[in-house]
Amino acid sequence: MVSFSRKTFLKYGISFGVILSTSQILQYCKTSSKERYDYERKDPFGPGFLSENISPILKAIRIGITAPNPHNVQPWKFKLIDDHSAFLYVDEKRLLKDTDPTFRQIHIGQGTFLENLSLGIQVLGYFAEVSLFPEGKYTIGDIGKKPIAKIVLNKQEDIVRNPLSEFISDRVTRRSIYEGEDLTQEDFEKIRKDSAVLYSELKFIPKAGSENLRKQLVAAMQMETDTYNTYEESRIWFRYNDEEIGKFKDGLSLRATGVSGLKYFFARNFFLKPGVESWHSDENKKAGMDMFTSQVESSKGFIFLKTDHNEIIDWVQAGKDYLRLQLATTKNGFSIHPMSQILQEYPEMDPIRNEFESSLRSGEKIQMLVRLGKSDYHYYSPRRDPKDFIL
């Protein structure tokens, strides 16, 4: 979570005697290139993947797990039924118990997977029949025990592909600084039309007049940072360098937050050190807050996704809609970054969240809030081997 000025780079570069070769510079300065490093997630429609001799359901799972999910914990596990069907479960070993104690965000991540799979498998000529909660009533106590969904693939020679399926390969969550003009109402209407969300309501907040919202978002991140358990949970899922990213193939990282080039080189080699003490130091927390504040202030507009109710099924369905929203923003040339801190449901966040949601009617819930803008930065967050998800 370290940020530096040009002057700081020069100062420390000289003091450490750093000399980088051309190849090293290219390695650290990856910003706009769409080339994927080995530790980044693979294109599920790449020629190598498509030619693999595996069952249709495994190909579908491989597509589905490229979906966005909280903290990139990849909270999915599967029980295969046959070559064309499987059960989806929440992986109870990959929960966010401090920042997501109700497990609402984890279940939103189940919805993003299901919609990503359903749209993506159309490319291979299949229709995905998805049945939610196939074993009946599902409660939080059933996490990991009862399936979220049953997935059955049906081959259709004349299937009409949803246009959003074309953008699954390029979909990325960009947490970098945003450039370009502010989003207009016309921009939002195009995104809303293309997303064609099924279960939620999308609301647009222009950059102009969002001063109070931006202050609330920064305050929420400050609360998460100052609350030991929630900030520690982020440390547990943080991958400090490319080697750790390649080893674990999950979690958060500097690259995922948009840090690249010399900033990345100095941060990972000289400043951001593994360990509890370094992570919770005042210096590190301030640097993280400075970075987050810059991200928020660079936003060109905001969209939130609201449901009329706040039950588990609403969470899953909101996840489906969020996936469609992100694909639609990709289609329209915009970047998207969830601002989830203010929606989290632990006691310390309650006052900030309640103020933010004070205009809602009884029972309503804002399930997702995102900032939007434009950015050329590319980082395809890693995914574990599909076989690791199979029971």
If you write DSSP's letter for every residue of 28-75 in order, what string do you get? Answer: HT-SS-----TTSPPPTTSHHHHTS---HHHHHHHHHTTS--GGG---
pLDDT attached to residue 272? 77
pLDDT attached to residue 47? 86
If you write DSSP's letter for every residue of 214-226 in order, what string do you get? Answer: HHHHHHHHHHHHH
CA 63 – CA 153 distance, rounded (Å): 13
CA 277 – CA 98 distance, rounded (Å): 19
CB 320 within 8 A of CB 111: yes
pLDDT attached to residue 67? 98
pLDDT attached to residue 264? 78
CA 274 – CA 220 distance, rounded (Å): 25
Sequential pLDDT tens for the chain (391 residues):
544 444 444 444 444 444 444 444 444 455 445 678 888 999 999 888 777 889 999 999 999 999 999 999 999 999 999 999 999 999 999 999 999 999 999 999 999 999 999 999 999 999 999 999 999 999 999 999 999 999 999 999 999 999 999 999 999 999 999 999 999 999 999 999 999 999 999 999 999 999 999 999 999 999 999 999 999 999 999 999 999 999 999 999 999 998 877 777 777 666 678 999 999 999 999 999 999 999 999 999 999 999 999 999 999 999 999 999 999 999 999 999 999 999 999 999 999 999 999 999 999 999 999 999 999 998 999 999 999 999 9
CA 205 – CA 191 distance, rounded (Å): 13
Q: What is the pLDDT of residues 65-108, one digit of tens each?
A: 999 999 999 999 999 999 999 999 999 999 999 999 999 999 99
Q: What is the pLDDT of residues 195-212, one digit of tens each?
A: 999 999 999 999 999 999
| Domain extent listing, the chain | 47-169
pLDDT attached to residue 49? 77
- The position carrying tokens 């039950």 is 311
CB 187 within 8 A of CB 205: no
Sorted by sequence, the CB contacts under 8 Å of residue 64 that are 6+ apart come out as 76, 113, 114, 116, 117, 120
Question: What token pair was written down for 190?
Answer: 């195009």
pLDDT attached to residue 270? 63
pLDDT attached to residue 30? 52
CB 252 within 8 A of CB 238: yes
Question: What token pair was written down for 86?
Answer: 């499987």
- pTM of the shown model: 0.92
**How far from 182 is each of 104, 188, 318, 326, 377, CA to CA, in Å?**
31, 11, 26, 18, 18
pLDDT attached to residue 273? 82
Q: What is the CATH number of domain 47-169?
A: 3.40.109.10
pLDDT attached to residue 52? 83
CB 149 within 8 A of CB 131: yes
Query: Considering Cα of 24, then 27, then 30, then 34, what sign does the dihedral take?
Result: positive
DSSP H or E run through 313? helix 312-331
